[in-house]
Amino acid sequence: MKILYYVSSHGYGHISRSYEIIRKLVTSSAVHSVTIASDRIDFIQDNPAKISLRKASLDVGVFQRDSISLDIDVTLQHLEAFEKNKNSLMEAEAEYAIQEDFDLILSDSASLPFIIGIEAKIPTIFIGNFTWDYIYSNFGKYNPNFSVIANILKIEYSFATSAFILPFHCPMDGFMEMHKVGLVGRRSNLDKESARAKFNFNKHKKYFLFSFGAYGLKDIVWNWESIPDDWIIVCSELAGFESDQILNIPQTYYPDLVRAVDFVVTKPGYGIISESIYAETPIIYTDRGDFAEYPHLVQTLEKSHPSSYISQTDLLRFSFSECIAKIQDTDRNKLTKLALNGESDILALILQIF
């Protein structure tokens, strides 16, 4: 089986989880190869057998000023330009899929690959926890053109042969066939003590990992003087987040860092939530703008993992004490356990259906 796997270029969450799925797929003798098509292929640093990389972008996503604020106007401009050129892109991708003789097309989470599949007569699978029509329909209150585009995308999604739905999912009613799968995400092979030793963490200090993904934290004024002496702010090459009070740990396997720290400080996104759950590291989360996925992430997060909300005002002051107290008071026995190992679920479903 030759698989063409389209991955959204929006942030890092799509490519990080998709790569975990792909690594699982190529362990099967039934899978001959997987071609990853994305603008985020630079995220992949190794060179595994049976996997090839191809630069391509089949969705717009949402443009962001930084990781906690959206740029709605720029998003619409790019969406409208994409729609104008969509037919030629679809035809070129369908011709490529036919020439390369792919047996299956997967998409996390663009809608256009399902039209490509119809054109190339290749079955298709959606993988994700939201669809872009759901995100853009929420923006219709800012400009009606978002609603028009959302309706187009919803039709495109309906052509998927099947849909594999991840945890933390938004409403999805446009697919003909749906299967719920377990959590997908990167994970560390280290226990907590070994991870802390890897980074030479001091057992008498609390470590807070600031994890704000692909878009960084730009032009934000932080109250560095308010950080207690026994708290250490940690990041790994976070754009725009600079101070001599930050412990920056570059070029490391990120799930090991998530495992090592005491708390992850973030805006809710699928990738960092899944990695924190696998690492068993509590989350302090803040707002991320009017992104329709947010309430669904937060709702499941609060039911299934030690976590606490912090306002952006308190975030800038590093006022974590109340969040820490809430997390420490969490009765973990009352938390809902999520289904894990979604990568294995997906491989099993593909082998069963196709």
Fold of 2-183+341-353: Rossmann fold (3.40.50)
Chain segment 257-303, per-residue pLDDT in tens? 999 999 999 999 999 999 999 999 999 999 988 999 999 999 999 99
Nearest residue to 129 via CA among 236, 11, 282, 280: 11
22: its two tokens: 């792909």
Between these two residues, 46 and 157, which has the higher pLDDT value?
A: 157
pTM summary value: 0.95
User: Is-contact 7 14, C-beta < 8 A?
Assistant: yes
Chain segment 208-258, per-residue pLDDT in tens? 999 987 677 877 889 999 999 999 999 998 877 888 889 999 999 999 999
Residue range 192-334 in CATH 3.40.50.2000: yes
Strands 69-70 and 104-108: unpaired
**Order of strands, sheet of 231-235, starting from the edge strand that comes earlier in the sequence:** 246-248, 231-235, 206-211, 263-266, 283-285, 307-309
Peptide bond between residue 109 and the one before it cis (omega within 30 degrees of 0): yes
Domain with CATH 3.40.50.2000 in the chain: 2-183+341-353, 192-334
144: its two tokens: 């009606």
Chain segment 82-108, per-residue pLDDT in tens? 999 999 999 999 999 999 999 999 999
Whole-number Å distance between alpha carbons of 223 and 239: 18
Whole-number Å distance between alpha carbons of 158 and 163: 10
Instruction: List helix spans (H) across 292-335.
Output: 294-304, 312-316, 321-328
Classify burial at 228, counting beta carbons within 10 Å of its beta carbon; exposed 0-12, middle 13-18, buried 19 or more.
exposed
What is the three-class DSSP state of 6?
Answer: strand
Q: What pLDDT is stored for residue 214 in this prediction? A: 66
Whole-number Å distance between alpha carbons of 261 and 206: 8
For residues 115-142, average pLDDT:
98
DSSP H or E segment with residue 98: helix 86-99
Whole-number Å distance between alpha carbons of 70 and 74: 9
111: its two tokens: 């809608």
For residues 11-40, average pLDDT:
96
Whole-number Å distance between alpha carbons of 149 and 25: 33
Percent of the chain with pLDDT over 70: 100
Chain segment 121-130, per-residue pLDDT in tens? 999 999 999 9
Residue type, 243: S
